[in-house]
Every structure is written in structure tokens, then in C-alpha cells.
Amino acid sequence: MMAAGQAAAAGASVTLLERNERLGKKLAITGKGRGNVTNAADIGDFIQQFPGNGSFLYAAFYRFTNEDVRNFFLEQGVPTAVERGGRVFPQSQRAADLVEAMKRFLNLKNVRVQLARRVTAILTSENRVSGISCGDEQIPADAVVLATGGASYPATGSSGDGYLLAKKLGHTIVSPRAALVPLETAEAWGRELVGLSLKNVTARVKVNGKIIAEEFGEMLFTHYGLSGPIILTLSRVVVRALEQKQQPSVLINLKAALTQEQLDARLLRDFEKYARKQFKNSLVDLLPQRLIVPVMALAGIPPELPVHQVSKTQRTALLEVLTCLPLTVTGKRPLREAIVTAGGVSLKEVNPATMGSKLIEGLYFAGELLDVDGNTGGYNLQAAFSTGFLAGSSVAGKE
Ligand SMILES: Cc1cc2nc3c(=O)[nH]c(=O)nc-3n(C[C@H](O)[C@H](O)[C@H](O)COP(=O)(O)OP(=O)(O)OC[C@H]3O[C@@H](n4cnc5c(N)ncnc54)[C@H](O)[C@@H]3O)c2cc1C
């Protein structure tokens, strides 16, 4: 949508073909329906949020920055606000408003939008784009921007068509795989906590006795294991460990804001306050109700034990569980459930200054279809908007 609108704004005559019966199905569900549209971080820091291939996006990010994205939506009547971690959302808290803004933009720039039109081939002649096929119909074109997304959440329309279309034209496809993906865990007690969201916790990934990554923020227990922003971010290293046949575990510090000493002092205060109660009643100020049972079990302290009888050794065991709650990772959820697809059109064959194909003249790429995948925080949408803007501008320059 950004590529189409920008190409038209720059003077091209543009048709946008969308296979769904409406535009922006995925955009409408981003950020749990709130649309984390970009991040307020310094644009120079965005590159690091795309481990591995971030530098490819340098030109695109500087051509159309996070400030540009915010101004763009403001101009289309959707002011945005910065939240925790620099995450930028529409003030209305509605991702659907982002889609409406894009539609207004397309309309304003006279882009012809054709819905329920699935592109089945890109036509070329002598290594130059000549049009596209939509089933039996052929539409001539001087240039094509391929922006079909990745292969996750296929019900939104991104079922991986773009990989096949690009491959047919000789492009290399780095094998698509899940990035930002929820994790499956072994512990039965985790299943009892379905829907429990924890804020201000630290999750650490341990492999072969070593901590290899750590994130602070929010996470969620699900019926299969773990999800939520910090788990999705950590999934990158966890998936790598799983692929190397290692056995990663996730350790959660439930009281990450406190030092070990502060937490011990806090426990002693609570134990004094509840000295006449049973142990199970002494943690109500410290933990969400549903966490109390598993924490007691893991610490090996009988729930009915009078609080004044809890020994120092037992308190030390409790401290360990509170700061190192262990979950064994058994796998990851499938690609279709990943937030982002890693892999895609090889960047070696794309010009980062234009988003143009190095193999086929008149062919451009934008968005998640490319072999880039960023962390959570609004970075992936920014990449889609920046590459879309650049591709759209380049197309118009060609016409
Ligand atoms: C649940 C969820 C939440 C997310 N939340 C955020 C967030 O808050 N912030 C963030 O930065 N990122 C988020 N992301 C990631 C972000 O949504 C994507 O990276 C981004 O939408 C990619 O944009 P795109 O235009 O490349 O692809 P898409 O948004 O997938 O759009 C591709 C479009 O191409 C169409 N298409 C595909 N094949 C064809 C064809 N053959 N013919 C015609 N049309 C076709 C599809 O129907 C689709 O509409 C989230 C992803 C998911 C799944």
C-alpha cells in the first residue's frame, strides 16, 4: 500500500492488486489490534533491531524514517503516541485506523485498487518486466513491486506466493522460517497458568549451563507454553539452539526490579506480617494468586507449614524459584503462528538503494518478503513502510 501510494504520488499510474476481499488484513491485527506502527528509537538504532541483515535497510530507513511514518499517519488523520519501550501506536489504539489511513492515501493518489485479485505470475521479456498474470488475465506493466509479505498468519493473505513468483524469475529464496515465534514448554504447571500475563519480569535463556540472552518486560503463559513480547524477542536465540539440537530453558525472574538482598528483606517482612498464617497465605502480597501454588511446589515448601517455621534453607529455595523460575523449552510453534517470517528474497540480488531486482529490470521488492526480520517494538512495520516508500519512489523514477 505504501509502495503503490508513493509511486502514484511520484507520478506513476498505479494499480494495486490484493488477493483478499479487503486491504490490510494483517496490518489490522498488529499489536494485538492496537497497531504498533513504529518505534521512537533513533533511526540509527533500527539497524540493530534486525539481527544479521539490518544494514541492508539503511538507505530505506533514512529515506523514510520513523518520524516520517508518524507524520504520514498524522496527515492522514491518525495521530500517534509513544508508549513504553518507545513503541508508537495510534492515539485511538486502533490498528484498523492505520488501514483506513492507507486507504485514504491510496484514494487521494488515484491508485486503482483491485480486490480479490491473486497475482499468479510476473511476466517478463528479455529480463525486463512486461506485466503480471492474474489467472487467465494479463495486465501489462512497466514495473512491478512485489510486496506479498511472508508466510506467517496465512489467513491474512501472506501464504508465501511472493517466494514462488520471485523464484520463477530466478531469484534465490533464503528458506522461510519462523521468527518471533511462541515457545512450547514441558512443565505441566505452566498449563495451569494459561492467560496469565507477567509484567516487569526478566526472562533469561540458558543453554549448556550458560545464559545466552536476557530480556526485561512482559510475557504470557499459553496452553502450549510461553508467548508475549520478551519471549518473542528471545525466540530468535532459542530457535537457533533448538536447531542445533541443544536443550534451551527459560528462567524467569519474577521480581526483576529487586536485588536478591532486597527480595530477601521483602520476604522477611511478609513472613513477619503473616507469621501466624500458613505458608500458602504469606505470598499474597508478592505474587499473582495463580503463581503461588507452583512456586510453593517448586520451592518444596509445604503449603500448610506455619510461616514462623519456614527455615532459612527453605527461604533460600524460595528465593531461587522467585528469581529463576525454570521452564524447559521443547519446541517452537509453527511458521504459520510466527509474528514474522525470517528468510525470503535474498538481499544479494536486491539493490538496497532502490529495492530494485538486480536480475530483472522493472522488478522491485518491499516488506517482509525480503530476507529481513526485526524484533518486536514496531520495527517490522517500519521496515515494510520504509522499503515500500523506497520501492514506490524508485518505480516512479523509472517510468
Ligand atoms: C499477529 C501479528 C501482529 C503483529 N504486530 C506487529 C506490530 O505491532 N508491529 C510491527 O511492526 N509488526 C507487527 N507484525 C509484523 C507485521 O505485521 C508485518 O511484518 C508486516 O505486515 C509486513 O508487511 P508486508 O506489506 O510486507 O506484508 P503483509 O502485511 O502480509 O501484506 C501482504 C499483502 O499481500 C497480499 N498478497 C499475498 N500474495 C498475493 C498475491 N499472490 N496476489 C495479490 N495479493 C497478494 C496479502 O493478501 C497481503 O494483504 C505483526 C504480525 C502479526 C502476524
pLDDT for 90-117, tens place per residue? Answer: 999 999 999 999 999 999 999 999 999 9
Distance CA 75, CA 146 (A): 26
How confident is the prediction along the chain (399 residues), in pLDDT tens digits per residue? 999 999 999 999 999 999 999 999 999 999 999 999 999 999 889 999 998 899 999 999 999 999 999 999 999 999 999 998 899 999 999 999 999 999 999 999 999 999 999 999 999 999 999 999 999 999 999 999 999 999 999 999 999 999 999 999 999 999 999 999 999 999 999 999 999 999 999 999 999 999 999 999 999 999 999 999 999 999 999 999 999 999 999 999 999 999 999 999 999 999 999 999 999 999 999 999 999 999 999 999 999 999 999 999 999 999 999 999 999 999 999 999 999 999 999 999 999 999 999 999 999 999 999 999 999 999 999 999 999 999 999 998 754
378 lines ligand 1 (CB under 6 A): yes
The answer to whether the CB of 106 falls within 8 A of the CB of 1 is yes
What residue segments make up the domains of the chain, in order of their start? 2-177+338-398, 183-255+326-332, 273-325
How distant is the alpha carbon of residue 291 from its chain centre? Answer: 27
CA of 260 to the centre of ligand 1 (A): 43
Cell of 155: 489467513
CA of 170 to the centre of ligand 1 (A): 24
17 lines ligand 1 (CB under 6 A): yes
The pTM of this model reads 0.91
- Please choose from 115, 380, 382 the residue to mutate so as to test ligand 1's pocket, defined by most ligand atoms within 8 A of CB: 380
pLDDT digits (tens, 9 = 90+) for 291-329: 999 999 999 999 999 999 999 999 999 999 999 999 999
380 lines ligand 1 (CB under 6 A): yes
CA of 250 to the centre of ligand 1 (A): 29
What pLDDT is stored for residue 134 in this prediction?
Answer: 96
What CATH code would you report for 183-255+326-332?
Answer: 2.40.30
pLDDT digits (tens, 9 = 90+) for 35-45: 999 999 998 89
113 lines ligand 1 (CB under 6 A): no
What pLDDT is stored for residue 101 in this prediction?
Answer: 98
Q: Positive or negative CA dihedral for 167, 170, 175, 177?
A: negative
CATH class of 273-325: mainly alpha
Distance CA 170, CA 139 (A): 21
SS3 content of the chain, % helix, strand, coil (to 5): 40, 25, 35
CA of 38 to the centre of ligand 1 (A): 14
Question: CATH number for the 2-177+338-398 domain, one of 2.130.10.10, 3.50.50.60, 3.10.310.30, 3.30.1330.100?
Answer: 3.50.50.60
CA of 158 to the centre of ligand 1 (A): 6
What pLDDT is stored for residue 399 in this prediction?
Answer: 47
30 lines ligand 1 (CB under 6 A): yes
User: What is the pLDDT of the chain when averaged over all its residues?
Assistant: 96
Atom of ligand 1 nearest to the CA of 2: 25
List 15's β-bridge partners, or say none: 112
Atom of ligand 1 nearest to the CA of 368: 26
Which among 337, 350, 342, 386 has a CA at the least distance from the CA of 50? 342
CA dihedral defined by 370, 373, 378, 381, rounded to 10 degrees?
Answer: 10
Atom of ligand 1 nearest to the CA of 17: 43
CA of 320 to the centre of ligand 1 (A): 41
Cell 543453554 belongs to residue: 207
List 140's β-bridge partners, or say none: 131
